Structure 1
Amino acid sequence: MEKINKRSSAFELLRLVAMFMVVWGHCVMATAKDQEPYLGTLDNIGWFIGAFTVCAVNEFFLLTGYFARSDNFKVGRILTIWLKTFTYSTVIYIVASCIQQTFSIREMITYMLPITTKQYWYMQVYIVLFFLTPYISLCMEHLTKKQHTFLIAVLLVFFSLHQTFIKVARTLDQSQGYGIIWAVVMLIIGNWLKKYGNEYIEKIRSGLFLIAYTLCSVAIFISNYLVVKLDIAGGVTSRGNFYAYNSITVLVQSICLFCWFIQLSRTMENHKYVNWLGKNTLAVYLISAHPMLLYPLWTDVFHMSQYWDKPVLYVALSIIFTIIVMILCICVDKIVDGIAGKLGVISQIKKVNRLIGF
């Protein structure tokens, strides 16, 4: 969910699509997944949609690696992201807690330190990844193709294959992809795709990548269905194994979708509206995934539960409401950017970039 300079509209579109997946995934997580009866219509809808959207976060990590360079460290980016995270985290808490009459000074302090207190898990991981990226990039720039490929193979054996088929408690990384280790793995893969992927990607028809993405998504859903239906490895408690960000299924799904956008980037012309919208996708996450909005947005604002007995309407409205949320969040962020510009915040950040960075 980071800002990438000199990117094509295809990658801006990817950011928008991935963010749509994030928000839509949150919608069904809050209102459909694990609704009893298990494997009932609503539960299946939630897990089916989730199977197609679960790769969203991996797409952002792949983007980070695809554009990673050792000479492109800008402290100003960190400041911009931190300030926005602080602003949305604090303001939303104050407004929401006052409405709910649950305001607490102690709790507000935790929301004023959203990175440190992990109010947004992704932002905490991203900030650390941002600091590590130039050093990881420097190492990768000195690797041969064979070394780079072998490194990825080793990482996938221990942090993807092992994680997919072994109980989480017995794995090296128990975060299931919600941590810095998997972010680094995806960054390294994204960088490999940038350096060496084209010679393979250009030989494959773009439609095949979408077909592969779809087949992976369906396979992920079927895995969930069979685990619950046949009561494998604890049934319901293990139904999300193949949905984990670092599972081999989601990894393949993520790469297939990413490769399709790589091919699209060669033919898609720049579209100013796509670029204009893509610039503010981070705010969609910061606002809609705020801990005090993540579930209430869908249960108390949009009242999705009233459509549970109408599956087609539920799905249609979940898509419409997701788009509305994205548009509103982007508009809010445009206003915030305008205010920051008038207050001179942006110019000060540019000065910091000139003083610190490499």
Structure 2
Amino acid sequence: MLQIKRKRNYGIDIARILSMFMVVVLHNLLQGGVLDFDSLGTANLMYFYLENLCIIAVNLFALISGYLMVDRKWKWQKLIVLWCTVIFWSVVTTGSFMVFRGTFNVKLLIKSFFPVLLKQYWYFNGYIVLFLLIPFLNAGFKYLEEKVISSVILALVLLSVTVGFIGNLFEQGGYTAFWLIVMYLVGAWIKKRQPIIKPIWLLMIYFGGAMVSLLGEVLSIVKIGHVDSWIKYNSPIVVVQAIAILLFLSNLKVTNNKVCQWLTSVSAMTFTVYLIDGNHYFYQYVLTNSFSFIKGVNLFSGVITILIGSIVMFMIFISVEYIRTSIMKKIR
């Protein structure tokens, strides 16, 4: 029987699971062919609102890294293990879906063996840089004055959501190692300071922020003809939303042993969800327009289909990772 450590913050496990589920929803809406970037239709605006709720996924996952790692011992072996997992799922996902679709591309299969070199997963490439810098980042929290570290983090965030948001800080909308470092620092700062804000206010910030982004998207469509820059990880609204959800979930109390066991097990496997769902072959050749049929159904059915479809995909991805880890444990 798994022994539950009461000191574990299961709210963070929920946050990790939620962030990867949001990634699946995001990909299904965008690459799945649901979103129309120049339409003001009611259904399309609702899907954009759902997108705005889930766009915090990357920021939330990076915030969690800082929250968890700032007080932990850095071990280089963890990166090697994770790197091997990335290669495994890059090759297996690519090969499996080639077989499933009945098409075989030698070039793409060979590329799948070199996911880092060929930037198959942008987040992992950025995470490598972040991981190697964690000892230095953590040392800052240990040896610098609190006022200094807080000022530096605040300056980095403000620069990122202003200068960086308009594209003049080499952040590419948040698709960089630098942005992951900024989010790591914020997550670590939250862990150290433990700011207390009423849960209702945090939820209002989260859902209200998505609405503000939606208004911005509507204005962009009206004035420019298409959605401009609102769906960016370094959007000031998206950053505030992600921080609000981290604060909300980090203060949740979970006491049921079975729920705690489930959260512990599933959260440890969540990165595989990204590795499969974000796999180049799956993303480009399988997921593309696979949910576009939703445009032909009513709004309620469309939203339910997206959510249920995303849950099913998430659970399938978790299940195959469970099989892999179970086999690896038996081999060892």
Regarding TM over 0.5, the answer is yes
Partners of 2:215 and 2:199 lie apart in 1 by 25
Partners of 2:115 and 2:52 lie apart in 1 by 29
Amino acid at match of 2:274: Y
Partners of 1:246 and 1:275 lie apart in 2 by 29
Amino acid at match of 2:66: G
Q: Which residue of 2 aligns with 1:148?
A: 149
Q: Which residue of 2 aligns with 1:282?
A: 271
Amino acid at match of 2:293: Q
Asked if residue 329 in structure 1 is aligned to residue 313 in structure 2, the reply is: no
Amino acid at match of 2:21: F
Q: Which residue of 1 aligns with 2:208?
A: 215
CA contact under 8 A between 1:32 and 1:43: conserved in structure 2? Answer: no
Q: Deviations over 1:260-284 (max 9, x none)?
A: 01221xx322611122222211111
Partners of 1:285 and 1:13 lie apart in 2 by 16
Q: Which residue of 2 aligns with 1:134?
A: 135
Higher RCO structure (Cα 8 Å, ≥6 apart): 2
Partners of 1:133 and 1:36 lie apart in 2 by 38
CA contact under 8 A between 2:216 and 2:230: conserved in structure 1? Answer: yes
Aligned length, in residue pairs: 323
Given candidates 305, 315, 320, the residue that maps to 2:292 is 305
Partners of 1:256 and 1:99 lie apart in 2 by 41
Asked if residue 225 in structure 1 is aligned to residue 218 in structure 2, the reply is: yes
Amino acid at match of 1:334: Y
CA contact under 8 A between 2:171 and 2:179: conserved in structure 1? Answer: no
Equivalent residues in 2 for 1:313-352, closer than 5 Å: 313-344=301-332
Partners of 2:124 and 2:136 lie apart in 1 by 19
Q: Which residue of 1 aligns with 2:68?
A: 67
Partners of 1:330 and 1:95 lie apart in 2 by 16
Secondary structure, counterpart of 2:115 in structure 1: coil
Asked if residue 86 in structure 1 is aligned to residue 84 in structure 2, the reply is: no
Equivalent residues in 2 for 1:260-279, closer than 5 Å: 260-264=248-252, 267-269=253-255, 271-279=260-268
Secondary structure, counterpart of 1:242 in structure 2: coil
Q: Which residue of 1 aligns with 2:233?
A: 245
Q: Deviations over 1:187-240 (max 9, x none)?
A: 1111111112x2x31xx3212111111111111111111111122xxx42xx24
Partners of 2:310 and 2:141 lie apart in 1 by 38
Equivalent residues in 2 for 1:32-43, closer than 5 Å: 32=33, 34-35=35-36, 38-43=39-44
Q: Which residue of 1 aligns with 2:172?
A: 175
CA contact under 8 A between 1:177 and 1:244: conserved in structure 2? Answer: yes
Q: How far off its partner does 1:256 sit? A: 0.8
Q: How far off its partner does 1:254 sit? A: 0.8
Provide the identity percentage: 26
Partners of 2:15 and 2:41 lie apart in 1 by 32
Amino acid at match of 1:307: I
Q: How far off its partner does 1:57 sit? A: 0.7
Secondary structure, counterpart of 1:243 in structure 2: coil
CA contact under 8 A between 1:61 and 1:190: conserved in structure 2? Answer: yes
Q: Deviations over 1:126-150 (max 9, x none)?
A: 1221111112111222121210121
Secondary structure, counterpart of 2:282 in structure 1: coil
Secondary structure, counterpart of 2:87 in structure 1: helix
CA contact under 8 A between 1:32 and 1:45: conserved in structure 2? Answer: no
Q: How far off its partner does 1:289 sit? A: 1.7
Amino acid at match of 2:291: M
CA contact under 8 A between 1:288 and 1:297: conserved in structure 2? Answer: no
Asked if residue 205 in structure 1 is aligned to residue 192 in structure 2, the reply is: no
CA contact under 8 A between 1:33 and 1:47: conserved in structure 2? Answer: no
Q: How far off its partner does 1:107 sit? A: 2.7
- Structure 2 unaligned segments of length 5 or more: list them: none
Q: Deviations over 1:288-327 (max 9, x none)?
A: 2211212554457xx4233312122111011111111111
Worse-superposed segment, 215-224 or 291-300: 291-300
Equivalent residues in 2 for 1:38-117, closer than 5 Å: 38-69=39-70, 72-100=73-101, 102-117=103-118
Partners of 2:330 and 2:238 lie apart in 1 by 43
Secondary structure, counterpart of 2:74 in structure 1: coil
Q: How far off its partner does 1:24 sit? A: 0.6
Q: How far off its partner does 1:49 sit? A: 1.1
Given candidates 184, 187, 198, the residue that maps to 1:187 is 184
- Structure 1 unaligned segments of length 5 or more: list them: 345-358
Partners of 1:241 and 1:23 lie apart in 2 by 21
Q: Which residue of 2 aligns with 1:352?
A: none
Q: Which residue of 1 aligns with 2:31?
A: 30
Partners of 2:242 and 2:37 lie apart in 1 by 30
Q: Give the alignment's Cα RMSD to 1 decimal.
A: 2.1
Partners of 1:16 and 1:70 lie apart in 2 by 21
Partners of 1:36 and 1:190 lie apart in 2 by 32
